[in-house]
Structure 1
Amino acid sequence: MEKTLEYADLLRLMDDRATAFQAVVAAAPSLDVRVPTCPEWTLLDLVQHLVEGRYRWAATVAAGPAEGPAAVTVPEVPQDRGDVPAWFAASVRELLDALREAGPDRECWTWWGASQSPRTSGAVARHQLQQLAVHTYDAQVAVGAPQPLPAEVALDGVDEFLTTCCATTGAWPHKPAIVDYHATEGRSWRVWLSADGARVARHPGEGSEPAGVAAWGTADELVKFFYGRITAEQLRVEGDPGIFDQLIAWEPEV
């Protein structure tokens, strides 16, 4: 697989995306605006989701190896909307401090036990960067000012999603298939789907077995497709797009 971001870069970029998210919240005309990409939520709901997640993952990383996520008490939502950005910022500091203290190799509970990602603080940092990046985009959409994910975040995000959220040992319940993803920045990935699960690797290159379906887009577009922010129709697709529908609906048992 392509070399991933260094741990220090993950923390730096998490802080950067958190700062961008905080700026959107501070400037929003109202925290009651709806978030079109998370249609059940207002902007305040989105902030609360992130705050709860930052504290929960900070405690989970600090706890080390465990059978489940750490229990945590989250500070209550401020009554004054002017205090909400600082409330969010404090949760990010809590997570970043826990990650700095742990370093990249501390084992800890994660929900992706059967994937190709390790169960470590480094993998948590990598996934949480993507959570902050995608939800920053959501907040920007809510106020009418969407921006692409930063290039280095998006490129790492394609690889991170596939190895963490797609790779699994759970049996693929459909006809075996090969799915290719091509980022216009020059990186490509292949997913093999079979009774053995989903396996991810860098694309083997010219002369390899043809894919059942392949998608091309910028890394930003691919990440947004993975997280349901755009549809396959907004990418260049060749092959059977029904395989994407099967992938989206798949809930593997492991």
Structure 2
Amino acid sequence: MDLATALRDQTAALAAAAVDPDAPVPTCPEWRVRDLVAHVGQAHRRAAGIVRTGQFTQEPPAEPGPPAEWARWLADGAEDLIAAENPRDVWTFFGPRPAAFWLRRMVADTTVHHADAVLAAGGVPEVAADLAAEAIAECLDLLSDPAVTTVRPNLAELRGTGQTLHLKPTTTTGWLITRTPDGVTFDRADGEADVTATAPTADLLWLLYRRLPVDDPRVTVTGDRALLDHWLALTVF
């Protein structure tokens, strides 16, 4: 997948969906749409600064300007990140990583926040299956990183004794997640699991990020529902 193209597309789609600055964002109750736009634009600019310098940079509060300027302001931030380069490892939550970490992270983040903007406008978010699959894999990579509990200590509760969760797309191979004593592991595979959530790939992404409730008719859950609920309650971003 071309992550630069994905970031451009999702940023533009978010800008197009952000039609009412004062509308509440139901999936981020503390935000209005203007806060959502500011957050995304600031995140892109912060990520670009990290890539360029290799270090965490604390950006001042973002000011996207009037709504008529949001599309250009958001696009400028995305292009700033796309253009940023660093041949060395850079700062991340988990220690030094290749600079591509931040482009991938911002693609997933922007995709989810595009959904937030659509929901705030009363629409139904959509995303291509390949991009949804990439964002799911990126999320699971974060949650299975050995250093994740240094960033979010509560995620130590994801450790287990072999319990398994299966995210099963309706048309392709899914993700089989195992909760081990040392942390979370996952494979791109299908198989028997303690609990399975079956849905189109995009809806599995929204479920994983709690943009879609477990009880939504687009999702079919079989097995130990409490295990899935526990996972979702712990992994709130």
C-alpha change, 1:161 and 1:231, in structure 2 (3 Å) is same
C-alpha contact 2:160 2:183 (8 A) present in aligned 1: no
Instruction: Tell me the SS of whatever aligns to 1:193.
Output: strand
For these two proteins, the number of residue pairs brought into alignment is 224
* Distance (Å, rounded) in 2 between the aligned partners of 1:236 and 1:41: 30
Pairs within 5 Å for 1:1-254: 5=1, 9-25=2-18, 28=19, 30-64=20-54, 66=55, 69-73=56-60, 76-78=63-65, 80-98=66-84, 101-102=85-86, 106-112=88-94, 119-164=97-142, 166-169=143-146, 171=156, 172-203=158-189, 205=190, 210-234=192-216, 235-250=219-234
C-alpha contact 1:59 1:71 (8 A) present in aligned 2: no
> What are the ranges of 5 or more consecutive residues in structure 2 without an aligned counterpart?
150-155
* Distance (Å, rounded) in 2 between the aligned partners of 1:75 and 1:242: 40
* Distance (Å, rounded) in 1 between the aligned partners of 2:180 and 2:188: 18
Q: Partner letter of residue 24 of structure 1?
A: A
Q: Partner letter of residue 201 of structure 2?
A: A
> Following TM superposition, by how much is the alpha carbon of 1:174 offset from its aligned partner in structure 2, in angstroms?
4.6
> What are the ranges of 5 or more consecutive residues in structure 1 without an aligned counterpart?
none
* Distance (Å, rounded) in 2 between the aligned partners of 1:213 and 1:240: 5
* Distance (Å, rounded) in 2 between the aligned partners of 1:97 and 1:155: 25
Structure 1 residue ranges (4+ consecutive) displaced by more than 6 angstroms after TM superposition: none
> Following TM superposition, by how much is the alpha carbon of 1:154 offset from its aligned partner in structure 2, in angstroms?
0.8
Q: Partner letter of residue 58 of structure 2?
A: A
| Per-residue CA distance 1:114-164 (angstroms, 9 max, x = gap) | xxxx92222322221111111111111111233311222112122221122
Q: TM-score, normalised by structure 2?
A: 0.85
Corresponding residue of 2:153:
none
> Following TM superposition, by how much is the alpha carbon of 1:239 offset from its aligned partner in structure 2, in angstroms?
0.8
Once the two structures are aligned, what percentage of the paired residues are identical?
Answer: 27
* Distance (Å, rounded) in 2 between the aligned partners of 1:219 and 1:129: 16
* Distance (Å, rounded) in 2 between the aligned partners of 1:106 and 1:215: 39
C-alpha contact 1:55 1:74 (8 A) present in aligned 2: no
Q: Partner letter of residue 23 of structure 1?
A: A
> Following TM superposition, by how much is the alpha carbon of 1:77 offset from its aligned partner in structure 2, in angstroms?
3.9
Q: TM-score, normalised by structure 1?
A: 0.80
RMSD over equivalenced CA pairs, Å: 2.2
| Per-residue CA distance 1:2-28 (angstroms, 9 max, x = gap) | xxx3xxx11011101111112223xx1
C-alpha change, 1:18 and 1:173, in structure 2 (3 Å) is closer
